[in-house]
Amino acid sequence: MMKRIVLSFLILLVVVSACKEEKPKSPVVLSLSSFHELVHPAYLINPDSIRQYVRVNLSNANDTMAWDSAMVSYYAADSAALFWMKDGVGQYADSLLYWLENSHRHGLNPALFNVSDIRTDLERFRSLQLHEDETINHLLARLEYGLTSSYLFYTCGLKYGFISPVQLLNNQEEDVKKKNDTEKQKEPYPIPLKKCSKEFALEALASLGQNPFAAFRQAQPTSPFYLSMQKELVRLDSIGEAEFEEIPLIGDTLLKVGERHRIIPLIAGRLMQTGELKQQVSGDTLTSVLLEAVNEFRLTNRLSTDNSIGTYTIRYLNRPLAYYKDHLLINLERARWQYKSEKGSKYVIGNIAAFMLQAFNEEVDSILEMRICCGSVRNKTPLLYSKIYYMELNPYWNVPQNIIRKEIIPSYRRDTTYFTRNRMKVYDKNGNRVNPHDIKWAKYTAGVPFTVKQDNKEGNSLGRIIFRFPNPYAVYLHDTPSRWAFNRSNRAVSHGCVRLERALDFAFFLLEKPDELLEDRIRIAMDIAPKSDEGKKLNRSEAYRELKHYSLKEAIPLFLDYQTMYLAADGNLSYCEDIYKYDDPLLEALNKLNHK
């Protein structure tokens, strides 16, 4: 009988290699003298005892996470399989440790997952180094508990994120938006998110039981955005801890190709380190090759390309490598968050930090991409989830009270032609039109008992079309006559609404299916020539009634989000400015999580 126990334990300790990709460490082979220890009761393996000790570990943990509850439920059963005993605590454990030890690829510290302690216990088990008064079952229970809890923490975190933005960021903003004279607090991250649940954790345990290697691979995020950031993080890590030599600012000087300056070698050295400059450039003359590398750097930082180099660009070049790594860590975490509301096959995501909007139609695998203008730092565009259900053509603009007080009244007092030039009319509380010259505007420093409405069509601040969706902030997406702002890198210029660069194309995207006649009716309303033969007939008909609004047959999900990295439709990844300063609280939480 004892020989059978010894033989079983020897089989348990057989060296099993993990898959080539995951490069686990090999177990230590026992010496012959070690086998005599196996007859000692402390070395006899008892699965029931292991399960019992795991339960004790769980009761002592006092954790309240979803995966803790799942583990309690799973190990409560007397028949619960021990995940890591199946192969003698061999390749499955080594494979998991491989993934955990490489969690830095996700911007995480492997210490989060107790890798060192688990590795130590694993080596002690393989070399039969038990502590005094410790049995092999104690050690195996600690390994079972440690490996399983780390697996679930890792899997749940990669699926749903390690930081809760709601708890972290809410109530951090002091800016207040006024609507109908009632103050409403803006929340920086009010978009509902999914959370790791007990059900998900139990499913992860089921996957672990079926095929551990597949479970580890399936835990990895697969979105193109996430993978692009991981690739960029690997690239930056390959540079090491390089420090860039400070490039002196040059005031108002603009350097052009062929001109000489002492900072040229410093610029070349900086871009050689980070890879934009592919070949060595000697001397202090700005060459076309170096300017091309500078423009590549500009695009990566969402700056406009140019034929010269000045102080503005040098300030960006002087940013340390840590700035870019922090951006990646922050946005890898954001990319792990999952929207609670389903996107469906057709949805819209506006990235406020990037000043870009992408409208996705997965049925035809297309992305409509355009520049947007968002709220200024003082009038932030709120983050939100809603559904676009309605478009209105040639809208009137009912000017909000805070804009009347803060902008229109001061403008009118400087220029009494303001209302006429901007085609604005004033009405009293009964809806009667009032001559603005008869009003003593100076006495209204708080509430204004008048409304101001701007005429529709040409010159209206909302442009020729507006897209409405329910939200408590009175914001919407709309066209604009102010096209100049789309050429700026920083497009935080609005009062909170989102201005669209390609409003007409966006209207067509929202339609259930292509409809030439309906598209032409929209064009005609916007004073754009129709394209179809039927549309041209409408334009000539005296009986034709212009389209004023259109309700979508199916509302389209809209997410106004904030990410300081941006993956363009062409696959290029770029860094965005943290215009609203939402990154710092998240970076602080991540550094705390990673024990930095």
* Residue 406 CB-density burial (10 A; 0-12 exposed, 13-18 middle, 19+ buried): middle
Check residue 14 and give its pLDDT: 35
pLDDT above 50: residue 204: yes
Same domain for 481 and 425: no
Expressed as residue numbers, the domain containing 310 is 239-324
Check residue 445 and give its pLDDT: 79
**Is 440 contained in some domain?**
yes
pLDDT above 80: residue 1: no
Same domain for 348 and 263: no
pLDDT above 90: residue 435: yes
**Is 388 contained in some domain?**
yes
Structure-token pair, residue 336: 């792990």
Q: What percent of the chain has pLDDT over 70?
A: 89
pLDDT above 50: residue 3: no
Please count the helices (runs of H) and the strands (runs of E) in the chain: 21, 19
pLDDT class of 174 with cuts at 50, 70, 90: very low
Distance CA(464)–CA(481), nearest Å, equals: 8
Q: What percent of the chain has pLDDT over 90?
A: 76
Same domain for 491 and 445: no
Average of pLDDT values for 190-208?
94
Same domain for 126 and 154: yes
The amino acid at residue 567 is L
Q: Which position has the higher pLDDT, 182 or 369? A: 369
pLDDT, tens digit, 9 for 90 and up, residues 105-124: 999 999 999 999 999 999 99
Same domain for 211 and 107: yes
Average of pLDDT values for 477-503?
96
Same domain for 435 and 527: no
Give bridge partners of residue 351 from the DSSP assignment: 356, 561
Q: Measured in Å, how far apart are the chain's first and last C-alpha atoms?
A: 53
Same domain for 507 and 467: yes
**Is 409 contained in some domain?**
yes
The CATH number that applies at residue 558 is 2.40.440.10
Q: Is residue 340 within 8 Å of residue 194, measured between CB atoms?
A: yes
- Residue 455 CA, chain-centre distance (Å), reads 39
Q: How many domains does the chain have?
A: 4
Same domain for 412 and 381: no
pLDDT above 70: residue 290: yes
DSSP 491-537: -EEESSSEEETTHHHHHHHHSSS--HHHHHHHHHHTT----SHHHHH
**Is 158 contained in some domain?**
yes
Nearest of 458, 455, 511, 404 to residue 181 by alpha carbon: 404
* Residue 7 CB-density burial (10 A; 0-12 exposed, 13-18 middle, 19+ buried): exposed
Average of pLDDT values for 194-206?
95
Share the mean pLDDT of the chain: 89
Check residue 157 and give its pLDDT: 97
Same domain for 484 and 383: yes
Q: Is residue 535 within 8 Å of residue 517, measured between CB atoms?
A: yes
Average of pLDDT values for 241-270?
94
pLDDT class of 378 with cuts at 50, 70, 90: very high
pLDDT above 70: residue 59: yes
**Is 150 contained in some domain?**
yes
Same domain for 376 and 315: no
pLDDT, tens digit, 9 for 90 and up, residues 335-363: 999 999 999 999 999 999 999 999 999 99
pLDDT above 60: residue 2: no
Structure-token pair, residue 316: 């960006």
pLDDT class of 243 with cuts at 50, 70, 90: confident
Same domain for 414 and 373: no
DSSP state of 302: T
Question: Which one of 431, 451, 471 terminates a domain?
Answer: 451
The CATH number that applies at residue 294 is 1.10.101.10
pTM of the model: 0.88
Q: Which position has the higher pLDDT, 554 or 442? A: 554
Check residue 37 and give its pLDDT: 53
pLDDT class of 39 with cuts at 50, 70, 90: low
Structure-token pair, residue 31: 């010496």
Nearest of 37, 34, 40, 59 to residue 141 by alpha carbon: 59
**Is 589 contained in some domain?**
no
Distance CA(63)–CA(153), nearest Å, equals: 12
Distances (CA, A) of 170 to 37, 164, 376, 565, 593: 59, 10, 20, 22, 19
Same domain for 300 and 432: no
Distance CA(564)–CA(576), nearest Å, equals: 5
Count of residues for the chain? 596
pLDDT class of 542 with cuts at 50, 70, 90: confident
Check residue 132 and give its pLDDT: 87
Distance CA(592)–CA(447), nearest Å, equals: 46
Distances (CA, A) of 364 to 345, 348, 357: 9, 15, 18
- 3-state SS, residue 223: coil
Average of pLDDT values for 549-559?
97
Distance CA(115)–CA(101), nearest Å, equals: 7
Question: Which one of 451, 484, 519 terminates a domain?
Answer: 451
**Is 179 contained in some domain?**
no
**Is 586 contained in some domain?**
no
Element (H, E) at 230: helix 224-239
